[in-house]
Structure 1
Amino acid sequence: MKIAEVSKKCGVSTDTLRYYERVGLIPKVNRNKSGIRDYTEEDCGWVEFIKCMRGAGLPIEVLIEYVALFQQGDETIDARKNLLIEQRKHLAEKMKDIKKTIERLDYKIERYEAVAMKENKLKRTDV
């Protein structure tokens, strides 16, 4: 699959795909005889994985480390698992913080809505 096809399929720009490969966020993509990238379904799986993890806020450095460990083989399974466990802990804490922020926003919104309702009632009685 050519880079433009992967870009469309995964919803990321061709520049992003090149960047992912250049910095080690995805394993090196095979190239055809002309030197053009030839993505496999496995490569697309890596792109989707990185896209998902970045969307959740995982740092690029952690993901680069994960990919490097993966490329070293099965002897790094425990290290990869521990890396993911640590990132999950960070995300769980982040979710707690986000939940608190949402609750605070809900409270503020309710206050503004109450004020708006009160003002609307006053305007109606003025007639």
Structure 2
Amino acid sequence: MTISEVSEKFGIPQDTLRYYERIGLIPRVNRNESGVRDYTEEDCNWVEFIKCMRGAGLSIRVLKKYVSLFQQGDSTIEARKGILMEQRRCLAERINEMRKTLDRLDYKIEMYENVLMAEKGLIRSK
């Protein structure tokens, strides 16, 4: 796949894909005889993983550490698992806070709906 195809498929700007490659978040992408990036399925798997992890709030720094450990092989499995477990814990905390915020918003919206309904009732009775 070309960079434009990967960009479209994952909704990531081409400049971001180049940046991820440059800093080592995704492996160096092979190029065809014309010098155009030619993404493999494995490259796309990395792009998808990075997009998912960034969406979950992982920092570039944490992702670089994870990728570096991955590239070192199976001896780093425990360390990689530790990173993922810590990030999962952080994400779970964020989700809990977001749930609280959502509950508060729902409560406030319901209060306003009740006020508006009461006002409409008063308007109709005039």
Smaller-chain TM-score range? over 0.9
Gaps of 5+ in 2: none
Please give the residue correspondences for 1:1-127 in structure 2 after superposition, counting only pairs within 5 Å: 1-126=1-126
Amino acid at match of 1:70: F
- How far apart are the structure 2 equivalents of 1:9 and 1:110? 39
Cα distance, 1:101 vs. partner? Answer: 0.6
Partner SS, residue 31 of structure 2: coil
- How far apart are the structure 1 equivalents of 2:56 and 2:81? 18
CA-to-partner distance for each residue in 1:12-45, whole Å, 9 max, x for gaps?
1211110111122212212234432221000001
Amino acid at match of 2:7: S
CA-to-partner distance for each residue in 1:67-96, whole Å, 9 max, x for gaps?
111111111111111100000000111111
- How far apart are the structure 1 equivalents of 2:19 and 2:4? 14
- How far apart are the structure 2 equivalents of 1:73 and 1:32? 28
TM-score normalized by the length of structure 2: 0.93
- How far apart are the structure 1 equivalents of 2:92 and 2:33? 46
Amino acid at match of 1:11: G
After superposing the two structures, state which structure 1 stretch, 53-62 or 88-97, moved more: 53-62
Residues 27 and 67, structure 1, Cα contact 8 Å, conserved in 2: no
- How far apart are the structure 1 equivalents of 2:96 and 2:4? 39
Amino acid at match of 2:76: T
- How far apart are the structure 2 equivalents of 1:5 and 1:110? 45
Gaps of 5+ in 1: none
Residues 66 and 83, structure 1, Cα contact 8 Å, conserved in 2: yes
Among the aligned pairs, what percent are the same residue? 67
- State the Cα RMSD in Å: 1.2
- How far apart are the structure 1 equivalents of 2:36 and 2:117? 63
Cα distance, 1:105 vs. partner? Answer: 0.6
Aligned residue pairs, count? 126
TM-score normalized by the length of structure 1: 0.93
Cα distance, 1:112 vs. partner? Answer: 0.4
- How far apart are the structure 2 equivalents of 1:99 and 1:118? 28
